[in-house]
Chains A and B, each alone.
Chain A
Amino acid sequence: MVRLKSRYLLCEVNVSDRSQLLLLDDRAIMVAVKAAVARTHGDYGAAMCSIRFCVKYLNAHTGIVFLRFPKSCYKLLWSALPFITSVETRGQKIPCFLNCLHVGGTIRTCQKFLIRYNTQQLHRMLPKCKSEEEKRQVRKAILSCSLTESKEAFEEDSESEEEEEEEE
């Protein structure tokens, strides 16, 4: 059966100032990626970007974004992502860079990877907890996320708890 195949790139947006992360929205990221591809690969790249490119998922709390590219040209467009230096939203230029964590064929595989990645990050962060109080807070936050809620809420809570540990 003929099927339109795409590649989903799981990227992390790294910003120096975490409060600016919340200002991001998917249209701003789309514009930034298209501009970078047009600069790096010219008209040829801009045309390839217009076929089936979109931002499928953006989590402003954690800075995770799913980008969809067509399978035939995803490597070329992937090579333009390191040239993104800032994202322009609501009149502000946020300096950031995109870090690609995973390439998957479907959104579901990317989500599975993201859950595994977040649990790994949590296991790395927990030993750094300075007091019992923090550990209890983290455990409570995770256990309070019920399975009926969406997976995004689970990731949000675990990541925001990690942030608090980092800052303290």
Chain B
Amino acid sequence: MKQVEEKEEASVYQRVVLKNASPYHYLKVRLVLEDESTRLSAVELKYFIITGLKSLYGEVGAALNFDVLKYDEDTLTAFLRVYSRSLVKLWSSLTLLGSYQNKACAFRVLQVSRFDPRSSLIIRIFSEVIHS
């Protein structure tokens, strides 16, 4: 299974595009805020990402379908699922989203994969075999 991971120390970034793969892409992101004490609910997080899409890509971007599959409020880590065609738009708007309620913030994209990273390794290999 090919996973594209961003590593701090590696200078080479490789994006592999496979045809006939699953229609979704999964992103694991963490929101890093200036003051550690603010908490967001899942709905607030989704709305925040939609405002980012709207400022960069307009009404058409804000209408992109993406889902927050799993959200951990304490670490502000979320699993997002998006259609593969919209991945570039979503990822670029996460990168350029800089402030939450007038305070600096950043989205760290920890993992991007084509198959659901929540499921176990066996199920992932199985689904890769089905899709290829």
Using a CB–CB distance below 8 Å, which chain A residues touch chain B?
A: 38-45
Contacts and interface: CB of A to CB of B under 8 A. Distances in A.
Interface residues of B, number: 9
A44 B61 CA distance: 10
Contacts of A40: 58-60
User: Which applies to chain B's interface (DSSP): helix, strand, loop or mixed?
Assistant: helix
Interface string B40-67: 0000000000000111111111000000
A43 B53 CA distance: 10
A44 B59 CA distance: 11
B89 to A, nearest CB: 9
A105 to B, nearest CB: 26
Contacts of B56: 42-44
A34 B55 CA distance: 15
Contacts of B53: 42
A137 B49 CA distance: 63
List the 9 shortest-distance A-B pairs measured between CB atoms, nearest first. Answer: A42-B58, A41-B58, A42-B57, A40-B58, A42-B56, A43-B56, A40-B59, A44-B57, A42-B61
A45 B56 CA distance: 9
Given A38-B58, A42-B58, 17 more contacts: A39-B58, A39-B59, A40-B58, A40-B59, A41-B59, A41-B60, A41-B61, A42-B53, A42-B55, A42-B56, A42-B59, A42-B60, A44-B56, A44-B58, A44-B61, A45-B57, A45-B58
18 contacts: A39-B58, A39-B59, A40-B58, A40-B59, A41-B57, A41-B58, A41-B60, A42-B53, A42-B54, A42-B56, A42-B58, A42-B59, A42-B60, A43-B55, A43-B57, A43-B58, A45-B57, A45-B58
A40 B57 CA distance: 8
Nearest to A42: B58
Contacts of A44: 56-58, 61
A165 B39 CA distance: 68
A35 to B, nearest CB: 11
Contacts of A38: 58
Contacts of B57: 41-45
Contacts of A43: 55-58
Contacts of A42: 53-61
